[in-house]
């Protein structure tokens, strides 16, 4: 009887430990618009997340018409992108979209990487447990 009570107590302690742990703060943003207000909002959200949890991992994925946000000479947030790329933020640009819009890797802001397919990149991040956020205003 004592052994059963002891095992039950240990099991309850382990369960409470598992359920009390907060999930990791991992977010993937889906950016498809050329709206510069959305571009500014994404930067603000990244900064707010990192303020709340400096260990958070963020990936911002660009495809469709959003590539101006990470293109030299067109971005309204170029300095912010470069600063955040040095933290736990990854800026990934869809290679398919780059080809469609005739954008070369040399035109991307420093710290920006390419991903083979933006939609598939988002799918992979969700499979890894990242929360999905569609960036729009």
The mean predicted confidence, pLDDT, of the chain is: 90
Q: What one-character DSSP code corresponds to residue 71?
A: B
In this predicted structure, the answer to whether residue 116 has a pLDDT above a threshold of 70 is yes
Element (H or E) spanning 6, and its range?
helix 2-20
pLDDT digits (tens, 9 = 90+) for 55-102: 999 999 999 999 999 999 999 999 999 899 988 999 999 999 999 999
Q: Is the dihedral of CA 50, 123, 72, 74 positive or negative?
A: negative
Closest residue by Cα to residue 68 from 25, 36, 24? 36
Over residues 8-26, the pLDDT tens digits come to 555 666 655 555 577 889 9
């Amino acid at each position: 009887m004592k052994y059963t009570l002891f095992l039950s107590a240990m099991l309850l302690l382990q369960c409470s430990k598992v359920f009390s742990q907060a999930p990791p703060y991992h977010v993937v943003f889906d950016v498809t618009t050329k709206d510069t207000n959305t571009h500014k909002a994404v930067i603000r959200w990244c900064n707010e997340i990192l303020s709340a949890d400096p260990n958070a991992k963020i990936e911002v994925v660009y495809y469709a018409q959003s590539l101006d946000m990470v293109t030299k000479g067109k971005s309204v947030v170029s300095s912010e992108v470069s600063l955040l790329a040095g933290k736990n933020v990854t800026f990934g640009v869809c290679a398919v979209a780059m080809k469609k819009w005739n954008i070369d890797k040399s035109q991307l802001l420093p710290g920006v990487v390419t991903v083979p397919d933006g939609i598939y990149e988002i799918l992979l991040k969700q499979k890894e447990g990242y929360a999905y956020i569609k960036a729009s205003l």
